[in-house]
Chain A
């Protein structure tokens, strides 16, 4: 490539309902790499974009939650496959975003793809691990099974731009929830790349919606939105004032809240079940037994 060539600068868009709209506000913001050099422009999501994303997520919920668990596993595994195909792009995005060496960035991408594969496999096992039959004292069949909570707003971590992103997104959608995710503000490129992966894999439009922009600006609208069922505040880690404000807003319709940790966790650790069970409802069905 000639050094004289002027590169084509990119202005990335949002990912809502399977399409790539620009922000309704018309605003975008500059994304720099860790050294402060210009990388791209990203769309600056607005309140209206957040609301559009919720509409898309709600529309996608019945079909996504109604699919067989096996099918959801297949769809998520396919996302991992497409990510694997695009490794160089993700490695570059992680390097630019997080300032990691090439080999460390490779390691992050490895871990992110592996995490997605791990979560994909949970789709058809969760009900067996977190549900159970209940031996009631009477002639009744009685079974408790997990179901998805609904539309989940996810504030992706600000620092871990890919592994953290996958680690908060996959557990939400694997069980049948649909997601509206707000990416890291300063490090949105891996999320943008992931949106492109999602658009070319089998994830139905609206199941995962990705907004780039400021959590502090967008999240209050999601936290108070009456058609959002739950919110993951991980992206507000360390910002106790914002986290508390969002938790108060979330009480308007009693959203399930996954609280913000004091600091971003070590994403390489085994996540356990909690990231999934935080967005599940247990349903118990009774029926009499007799002839």
Chain B
């Protein structure tokens, strides 16, 4: 009997209406930008989607002033229960327009519709619902009720709308106003979110969205009218931000890179562990700061795990992000693809053995087959540096203490995974891992109520949950 072939099941693009060009969203209106414009492309096809305005220093100043005015006159003084209702409105509109948001996200980012539809957008709505409810309950937060002021927020391209929600929802719930810059390669859902703010009648200036690249981000971070900086992105830029705000009163939270260990013990539930490894590194093409990019597998089961893992990787469907069957979509940009290729080549050059899932890649667009490396040592660059792509480095260990030592042998400390049926081992190892999120017998789970953030060079501060309020209230410890 032959294996059934997949028939394409494409999600319709008809639900989205992409404009030819987009301006900046400042003080409740779309306005032209002072800088040059740039193009955003569909990474699955290299098709140019739209021309997007680039905010210059004067635009940043305009947006910060609008945010300050809204903070002083409207949003800051507004009772929490009223702020809450705006956030509830936004949450509802996100639910109502969820298909549109999911399709647009997949087109602009390259992630499979399965993920944007089932993970990103529902979590975005849930995030707004969660923090909406905090707005009139801040006296119970443990951090007081006083907002900080104007928040400058810079977000990455891997979860464009979800990262926006992580930044905007708690900031607004606490009474702050925001100037947010989406990533250069993925501005479209943030601009659609701006429309949603208009649709919700959110007062002008409470949310300002400035598109642009690194210079725009720098201008936001360094603007003297910004009281709080929130950044998600690379550790390198995070350090530059920490230096830029030194000697100021600006509060900062940084959610940066990672090189998470996913530890599989010999008594792990093997089927779940293999699914967890796959989800840990191939979810969102591995464009995940908390990705389980270092598999630490106990020596006695390494052969079996690898065999099952390769078999499973062979069934991953790589291709059209809008196809509902697709498991792994497009790499977000040419630049990122080049970095993944470079580090993978270095992995081979340094002596690790490369294996890629046999799959046909589309001829246009940016693609990288799910790949794993065996024979990786701790000194290899592919074991130390964040690749931010669908590339797994496999290392082995013999004892739990060796696993912990290897897991912690990194300047990062964002997340980690543990797979074992033994409860006492989970709790012991979880306690010893220097990481902000530990997934035991699961991986890459996110929830608005659950704080997320790193130890060491993965940054500081937490997003999500009660702890996420601390970043946006004067009484919170960043």
Assess A253 versus B456: contact at CB under 8 Å? Given A134-B449, A136-B450, A288-B441: yes
Verify A281–B447 contact, CB threshold 8 A.
no
Verify B445–A286 contact, CB threshold 8 A.
yes
In A18-38, the 8 Å CB interface with B consists of none
Given contacts A134-B450, A287-B426, list 13 more A-B pairs with CB under 8 A: A144-B450, A247-B243, A248-B243, A250-B242, A250-B246, A253-B411, A254-B254, A256-B460, A282-B453, A282-B462, A283-B430, A285-B438, A286-B437
Assess A283 versus B435: contact at CB under 8 Å? Given A144-B467, A254-B460: yes
Q: Is B32 an interface residue (CB 8 A)?
A: no
Alpha-carbon distance between A282 and B466 when the two chains are bound, in angstroms: 11
In B58-91, the 8 Å CB interface with A consists of none
Chain B residues with CB under 8 Å of A245's CB are: 246
Verify A254–B477 contact, CB threshold 8 A.
no
Alpha-carbon distance between A251 and B445 when the two chains are bound, in angstroms: 30
Assess A253 versus B447: contact at CB under 8 Å? Given A286-B438, A286-B442: no
**Which of B239, B450, B452 gathers most chain A CB within 10 Å?**
B450
Chain B residues with CB under 8 Å of A256's CB are: 460
Assess A282 versus B436: contact at CB under 8 Å? Given A134-B451, A229-B456, A254-B254: yes
Which residue on A lies nearest to B423, using beta carbons? A287
Chain B residues with CB under 8 Å of A284's CB are: 436-438, 450-452, 465
Chain A residues with CB under 8 Å of B239's CB are: 251-252, 254
- A residues apposed to B, CB below 8 Å: 129-130, 132, 134-138, 140, 142, 144, 149, 229, 240, 243-245, 247-248, 250-254, 256, 273-274, 277-278, 281-288
What distance in Å separates the Cβ of B92 from its nearest Cβ neighbour in chain A?
17
Chain A residues with CB under 8 Å of B235's CB are: 254
What distance in Å separates the Cβ of A280 from its nearest Cβ neighbour in chain B?
8
List 9 tightest A-B contacts by C-beta distance, closest first. A244-B247, A247-B246, A251-B242, A136-B447, A134-B449, A277-B477, A287-B440, A248-B246, A251-B243
Task: Report B104-148 CB contacts with A as 1/0, cut-off 8 Å.
Answer: 000000000000000000000010000000000000001000000
What distance in Å separates the Cβ of A263 from its nearest Cβ neighbour in chain B?
14
Task: Report B214-255 CB contacts with A as 1/0, cut-off 8 Å.
Answer: 000000000000000000000100111011001100000010
Alpha-carbon distance between A122 and B452 when the two chains are bound, in angstroms: 25
Alpha-carbon distance between A142 and B438 when the two chains are bound, in angstroms: 10
Alpha-carbon distance between A223 and B201 when the two chains are bound, in angstroms: 47
What distance in Å separates the Cβ of A117 from its nearest Cβ neighbour in chain B?
23
Chain A residues with CB under 8 Å of B452's CB are: 284
Q: Is B459 an interface residue (CB 8 A)?
A: yes
Alpha-carbon distance between A243 and B451 when the two chains are bound, in angstroms: 30
Which of A142, A240, A243 interacts with B450 by CB under 8 Å?
A: A142
What distance in Å separates the Cβ of B6 from its nearest Cβ neighbour in chain A?
28
Alpha-carbon distance between A252 and B456 when the two chains are bound, in angstroms: 11
Verify A136–B449 contact, CB threshold 8 A.
yes
Task: Report B320-364 CB contacts with A as 1/0, cut-off 8 Å.
Answer: 000000000000000000000000000000000000000000000
What distance in Å separates the Cβ of A223 from its nearest Cβ neighbour in chain B?
10
Interface SS, A side: mixed
Q: Is B455 an interface residue (CB 8 A)?
A: yes
Which of A134, A149, A240, A287 interacts with B447 by CB under 8 Å?
A: A134
Assess A137 versus B441: contact at CB under 8 Å? Given A254-B256, A256-B460: no
Q: Is B56 an interface residue (CB 8 A)?
A: no
**Which of A245, A251, A274, A277 gathers most chain B CB within 10 Å?**
A251
Chain B residues with CB under 8 Å of A243's CB are: 247
19 A-B contact pairs sorted by A residue (CB < 8 Å): A129-B142, A134-B451, A137-B449, A138-B445, A142-B447, A142-B450, A144-B450, A240-B247, A243-B247, A247-B246, A248-B246, A251-B239, A252-B239, A253-B456, A254-B456, A278-B477, A282-B436, A283-B435, A286-B442
Alpha-carbon distance between A130 and B441 when the two chains are bound, in angstroms: 26
Chain A residues with CB under 8 Å of B462's CB are: 282
Q: Is B30 an interface residue (CB 8 A)?
A: no
Alpha-carbon distance between A146 and B348 when the two chains are bound, in angstroms: 40
What distance in Å separates the Cβ of B474 from its nearest Cβ neighbour in chain A?
11
**Which of A132, A138, A245 gathers most chain B CB within 10 Å?**
A132
Verify B457–A253 contact, CB threshold 8 A.
yes
Verify B440–A135 contact, CB threshold 8 A.
no
Chain B residues with CB under 8 Å of A134's CB are: 447, 449-451, 465
In B196-218, the 8 Å CB interface with A consists of none
Which residue on A lies nearest to B452, using beta carbons? A284
What distance in Å separates the Cβ of A57 from its nearest Cβ neighbour in chain B?
16
Q: Is B38 an interface residue (CB 8 A)?
A: no
**Which of B126, B411, B445 gathers most chain A CB within 10 Å?**
B445
Verify B438–A137 contact, CB threshold 8 A.
no
Verify A140–B247 contact, CB threshold 8 A.
no
Chain B residues with CB under 8 Å of A287's CB are: 426, 440-442
What distance in Å separates the Cβ of B239 from its nearest Cβ neighbour in chain A?
5
Alpha-carbon distance between A256 and B254 when the two chains are bound, in angstroms: 11
Chain B residues with CB under 8 Å of A229's CB are: 456
**Which of A256, A277, A281 gathers most chain B CB within 10 Å?**
A281
Chain B residues with CB under 8 Å of A253's CB are: 411, 456-457
Task: Report B416-450 CB contacts with A as 1/0, cut-off 8 Å.
Answer: 00000000001000100001111111100101011
Alpha-carbon distance between A135 and B455 when the two chains are bound, in angstroms: 23
What distance in Å separates the Cβ of B353 from its nearest Cβ neighbour in chain A?
32
Alpha-carbon distance between A248 and B465 when the two chains are bound, in angstroms: 30
Chain B residues with CB under 8 Å of A285's CB are: 430, 437-438, 440
Which residue on A lies nearest to B123, using beta carbons? A137
What distance in Å separates the Cβ of B265 from its nearest Cβ neighbour in chain A?
14
What distance in Å separates the Cβ of A128 from its nearest Cβ neighbour in chain B?
12
Chain B residues with CB under 8 Å of A136's CB are: 445, 447, 449-450
Which residue on A lies nearest to B447, using beta carbons? A136
Alpha-carbon distance between A286 and B433 when the two chains are bound, in angstroms: 14
Alpha-carbon distance between A137 and B439 when the two chains are bound, in angstroms: 16
Which residue on A lies nearest to B254, using beta carbons? A254
What distance in Å separates the Cβ of B369 from its nearest Cβ neighbour in chain A?
30
Verify B435–A286 contact, CB threshold 8 A.
no
Chain B residues with CB under 8 Å of A248's CB are: 243, 246-247
Which residue on A lies nearest to B450, using beta carbons? A134
Alpha-carbon distance between A284 and B413 when the two chains are bound, in angstroms: 12
Chain A residues with CB under 8 Å of B436's CB are: 281-284
Chain B residues with CB under 8 Å of A250's CB are: 242, 246
Chain A residues with CB under 8 Å of B126's CB are: 137
Alpha-carbon distance between A165 and B375 when the two chains are bound, in angstroms: 51
Verify A130–B442 contact, CB threshold 8 A.
no
Alpha-carbon distance between A129 and B439 when the two chains are bound, in angstroms: 23
Which of B240, B254, B450, B457 interacts with A286 by CB under 8 Å?
A: B450
Which residue on A lies nearest to B249, using beta carbons? A259
Chain B residues with CB under 8 Å of A130's CB are: 142
In B274-294, the 8 Å CB interface with A consists of none
Alpha-carbon distance between A260 and B430 when the two chains are bound, in angstroms: 34
